[in-house]
């Protein structure tokens, strides 16, 4: 199947795109568990699936595991909703490897993180992403998460990439600076796909003209997180605002420690997957586990 064109991507890559956990069982990737989670997400109304993003612990996966994760996800999604594969790293050749693998195995788009640890200049970021964009015909979504990468891609750099590489179609902004987000849309064009990667900012970003959100909270409440987008798309802003505030306690407690530790604990408590997480991350403290359970109870979970 040919890759989505940029225009098709702008039409289809919208809504609640769930950043899936990578379920483990006895230290190994739980493929059956992943398949079940994907089916549940789609049945719950999620608009898209993403794997191997921050919530999926990509740096804790071996290269072979990461490729297997992408392949299983593509197979299980089976075209029912768009599937975005996280293919970025701080190593260009590795990023190219995963991006080419994702295209060869039928992913709909790739999510490529700003290289972490290296702290590249804007020119370095441009050259890195330009090289990746030229190596694939898939739509490419930049993943800008300065809190994890120690580097922030400026709107002008995104605009330059969009001009030079039409398959650069959007950005996941895990960025608390809403002025920055406004500048991204102003400089890159209002049809540039901007997704919130900050759970508490999903509603504000939609109000600015965002295309949707990639919210870890959707791993626990997929229907509600998808409904937040649906309400905004329908112009039902008061109902959406109410839902934004209803989701706030869960959004906050799932980040009481580094993601996805609290999230995997919550999913384990709910019987969705084993709460296994790989070092150097670990399960939350006993006090924080109690806080997570208390908040889950508020939602009747």
177 to 52, 74, 180, 184, 189: CA distances (angstroms): 25, 33, 5, 11, 18
Within the chain, what is the greatest distance between any pair of CA atoms?
50
Whose CA is closest to 290, among 267, 258, 251, 262?
Answer: 262
| Tokens 């950005």 found at | 171
Among residues 143, 195, 229, 289, the one annotated as catalytic is: 143
| Exposed/middle/buried for residue 132 (C-beta within 10 Å: 0-12, 13-18, 19+) | buried
The number of C-alpha atoms within 13 Å of 105 and in the hemisphere containing its C-beta is 23
Q: Which of 126, 172, 195, 229 is catalytic?
A: 172
Query: Is 291 tagged catalytic?
Result: no
Instruction: Tell me if residue 117 is catalytic.
Output: no
Residue with tokens 């191997």: 52
Enumerate the active-site residues: 143, 172
């Amino acid at each position: 199947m040919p890759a989505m064109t940029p225009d098709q991507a702008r039409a289809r890559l919208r809504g609640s795109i769930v950043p899936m956990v990578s379920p483990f069982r006895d230290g190994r990737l739980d493929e059956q568990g992943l398949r079940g989670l994907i089916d549940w997400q789609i049945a719950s109304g999620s608009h898209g699936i993403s794997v191997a993003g921050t919530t999926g612990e990509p740096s804790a996966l071996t290269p072979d595991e990461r490729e297997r994760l992408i392949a299983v996800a593509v197979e299980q999604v089976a075209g029912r909703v768009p599937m975005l594969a996280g293919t970025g790293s701080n190593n260009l050749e590795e990023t190219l490897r995963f991006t080419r693998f994702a295209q060869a195995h039928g992913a709909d788009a790739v999510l490529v993180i700003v290289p972490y640890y290296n702290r590249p200049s804007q020119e370095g970021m441009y050259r890195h992403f330009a090289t990746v964009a030229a190596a694939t015909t898939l739509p490419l979504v930049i993943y800008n998460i300065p809190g994890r990468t120690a580097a922030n891609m400026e709107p002008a750099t995104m605009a330059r990439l969009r001009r030079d590489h039409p398959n650069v179609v959007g950005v996941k902004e895990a960025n608390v600076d809403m002025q920055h987000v406004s500048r991204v849309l102003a400089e890159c064009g209002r049809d540039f796909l901007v997704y919130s990667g900050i759970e508490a900012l999903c509603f504000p970003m939609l109000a600015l003209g965002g295309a949707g959100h990639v919210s870890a909270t959707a791993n626990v409440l997929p229907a509600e997180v998808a409904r937040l987008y649906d309400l905004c798309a329908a112009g039902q802003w008061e109902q959406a605002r109410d839902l934004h505030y209803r989701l706030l306690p869960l959004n906050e407690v799932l980040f009481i420690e580094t993601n996805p530790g609290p999230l995997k604990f919550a999913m384990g408590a709910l019987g969705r997957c084993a709460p296994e997480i790989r070092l150097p991350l670990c399960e939350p403290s006993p006090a924080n586990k109690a806080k997570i359970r208390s908040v889950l109870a508020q939602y009747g979970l």
